[in-house]
């Protein structure tokens, strides 16, 4: 006998073995999120289960994409005060506490992703089984929103796997994969897709002892040890961010240091802490960025025309990365350049990208097989989109288009990665100027989640931008507004400036793009050069700093052994290579301890005494003072 009850987001089923199957299936969405109505419905079902305890409870998901993605981020925008944030978080904590307190065994059957609140839901269960494939992803990405886990994650994760791996997951926000999750104890058993339900059933019928971290991890949470570990964690975090700019990592460390992940007070402190973080400027801005990215992906939509083959011309940094990214997205890609030796480095970088992004070696081999070199441009005839990524030259691009367009099949799109040449100028001479669009990727391509889709008055609005947007992936968008990079460039006059002026302008554009990729002191120096401003004091050359350092040295070295970094004489060789305006030091200067001869005698001055210059007997500049002689310069 089995009975089934269906709600709006949860489905409860009790089978013949008296096992309750709680299945999350939020309607009208592709993923499950823990919004307030979903949590209230789960709370009501847990009340029903607690009134008649079954043999066990299995929590699973009916979505093909994964388990639970976490809390509903949109609800965070309605938090106006720490008190309202506390009420939202505390309600979720009570639901998870009720699940954890059930008298029967509870199992989370996970497939795909379990992130944020989804992983906290799994941690509230006594056991966890998962599908051990490449799609499994478990993590706490809350720190990327300027907050930390709030439904008990900061407490239960430390209890389950120990403080070091738990803090690594929460402080970095990086997910863990199948084998690593099993090794840490985050997952009790990895099974194939078809055996997930049977594995959960076996654990309910014969429950093993729950996982516990080893003694060395448990010892780190002892009161006398926590302060030492806290200093180490704070030191690591302070090298990345400052507390006043990014308080969430420090808040997680402070919670563990004060309460050690023990007792109900730790959960209460977690709720109060995240409620305060909700109202910080850091969290508000990061949540806004997340929602804007979500809007951007939704506005991109799906292409209405097929796109399977991409042909990229130019195997440089941009062209090679565009080809690698397209192959990673599942397209068949051919990469063209003048000779094979220019394409081979791009293929090597592409394989490194595949190995980094695809944990499954079989997936790496498939992605590598989709990308091939094409010196003779044979792939242009089968390509649905041809992307030009050569150097910024109007004449060179027109010559390339003249050879590519006759080979392209009807309906294929010609896209350019230019950032400084207008489409109207590039479209001159094309038999079908309507097929030309701009598809501007940002460097580095795999890391910048943004693509600029440009069209002009000549572009065919039927499917040109649509195909280009699909080639760029979910990072592209054609929607209009202030939160994206889509633009339409107005036509410019046909008269062009002289070639020398165009070359100078293109050089400045390339220099500005290079400056944008720099960081730290190099970026400051480059920006000052572009503005024509003098170099800052902190940006002076190494030789200039060396001269200043020598001038600040003491008149006499310390007693005892000479220290080279405090002695002028040891800078002699370096100073000789400096400009003549820097005064050279005489060998055997009195400021160097090593310049003294045995018995305290000083070496003679190499520069002769000027004529008419008188030194008294026993003068300190003489090597010796025999008697009361007076020495006159020659």
In angstroms, the CA 426 to CA 431 distance is 12
Classify 491 as helix, strand or coil: coil
From the list 111, 311, 440, 486, the catalytic residue is 440
43 contacts: CB under 8 Å, gap ≥ 6: 94, 95, 98
Classify 564 as helix, strand or coil: helix
Cβ pair 401, 414 in contact under 8 A: yes
Burial of 252-273, coded b for 16+ CB within 10 Å and e otherwise, reads bbbbbbebbbeeeebbebbbbb
404 contacts: CB under 8 Å, gap ≥ 6: 313, 377, 380, 386, 388, 414
Burial of 310-332, coded b for 16+ CB within 10 Å and e otherwise, reads bbbbbbeebbbbbbbbbbbbebb
Q: Residue 19: enclosing H or E segment and its boundaries?
A: strand 19-24
Is 90 catalytic? The answer is no
Cis peptide before 632 (omega within 30 of 0): no
* DSSP code of residue 240: T
Nearest alpha carbon to residue 567 among 594, 544, 541: 594
Classify 496 as helix, strand or coil: coil
Cβ pair 304, 467 in contact under 8 A: no
Return the percent helix, strand and coil in the chain, to nearest 5.
45, 15, 40
Classify 385 as helix, strand or coil: strand
Output the CA angle 250-252-253, nearest 5 degrees: 65
- Which positions are annotated as active-site residues? 440
């Amino acid at each position: 006998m089995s009975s089934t009850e269906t709600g709006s987001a949860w489905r409860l089923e009790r089978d013949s073995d008296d096992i309750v199957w709680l299945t999350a299936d939020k309607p009208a969405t592709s993923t499950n999120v823990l919004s307030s109505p979903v949590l209230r419905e789960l709370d009501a079902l847990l009340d029903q289960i607690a009134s008649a305890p079954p043999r066990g409870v299995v929590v699973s998901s009916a979505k093909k994409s994964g388990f639970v993605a976490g809390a509903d981020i949109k609800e965070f925008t309605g938090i106006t005060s720490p008190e309202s944030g506390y009420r939202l978080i505390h309600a979720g904590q009570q639901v998870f506490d009720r699940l954890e307190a059930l008298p029967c065994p509870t199992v989370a059957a996970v497939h795909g992703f379990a992130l944020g609140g989804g992983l906290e839901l799994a941690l509230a269960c006594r056991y966890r089984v998962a599908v051990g494939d490449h799609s499994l992803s478990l993590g706490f990405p809350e720190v990327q929103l300027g907050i930390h886990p709030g439904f008990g994650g900061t407490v239960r994760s430390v209890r389950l796997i120990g403080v070091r791996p738990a803090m690594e997951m929460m402080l970095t926000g990086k997910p863990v994969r199948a084998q690593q999750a099993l090794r840490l104890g985050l997952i009790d058993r990895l099974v194939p897709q078809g055996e997930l339900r049977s594995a959960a059933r076996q654990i309910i019928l014969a429950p093993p002892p729950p996982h516990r971290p080893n003694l060395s991890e448990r010892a780190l949470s002892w009161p006398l040890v926590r302060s030492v570990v806290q200093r180490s964690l704070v030191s690591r975090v302070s090298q990345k961010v400052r507390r006043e700019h990014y308080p969430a990592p420090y808040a997680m460390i402070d919670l563990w240091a004060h309460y050690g992940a023990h007792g109900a007070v730790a959960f209460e402190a977690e709720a109060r802490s995240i409620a305060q973080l909700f109202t910080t400027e850091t969290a508000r801005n990061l949540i806004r960025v997340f929602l804007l990215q979500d809007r951007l992906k939704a506005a991109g939509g799906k292409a209405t025309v097929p796109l399977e083959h991409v042909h990229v011309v130019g195997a440089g940094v941009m062209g090679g990365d565009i080809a690698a990214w397209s192959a990673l997205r599942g397209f068949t890609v051919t990469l063209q350049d003048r000779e094979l030796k220019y394409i081979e480095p791009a293929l090597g970088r592409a394989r490194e990208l595949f190995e980094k992004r695809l944990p499954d070696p079989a997936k790496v081999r498939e992605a590598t097989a989709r990308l091939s070199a094409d010196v003779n441009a044979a792939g242009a005839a089968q390509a649905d989109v041809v992307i030009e990524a050569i150097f910024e030259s109007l004449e060179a691009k027109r010559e390339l288009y003249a050879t590519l367009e006759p080979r392209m099949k009807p309906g294929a799109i010609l896209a350019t990665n230019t950032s400084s040449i207008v489409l109207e100028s590039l479209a001159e001479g094309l038999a079908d100027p309507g097929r030309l669009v701009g598809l501007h990727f940002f460097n580095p391509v795999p890391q910048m989640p943004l693509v600029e889709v440009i069209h002009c008055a000549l572009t065919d609005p039927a499917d040109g931008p649509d195909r280009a947007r699909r080639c760029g992936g979910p990072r592209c968008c054609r929607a209009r507004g202030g939160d994206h990079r889509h633009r339409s460039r107005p036509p410019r006059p046909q008269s062009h400036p002289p070639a020398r002026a165009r070359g100078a302008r293109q050089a400045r554009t390339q220099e500005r793009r290079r400056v944008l990729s720099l960081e730290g002191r190099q970026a400051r120096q480059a920006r000052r050069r572009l503005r024509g401003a003098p170099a800052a004091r902190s940006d002076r050359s190494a030789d200039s700093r060396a001269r200043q350092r020598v001038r600040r040295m003491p008149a006499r070295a310390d007693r005892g052994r000479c220290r080279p970094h405090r002695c002028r004489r040891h800078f002699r060789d370096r100073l000789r290579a400096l400009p003549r305006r820097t005064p050279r030091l005489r060998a055997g200067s009195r400021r160097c301890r090593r310049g003294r001869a045995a018995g305290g005698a000083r070496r003679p001055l190499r520069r002769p005494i000027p004529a008419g210059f008188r030194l008294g007997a026993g003068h300190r500049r003489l090597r010796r003072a025999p008697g009361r002689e007076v020495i006159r310069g020659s």
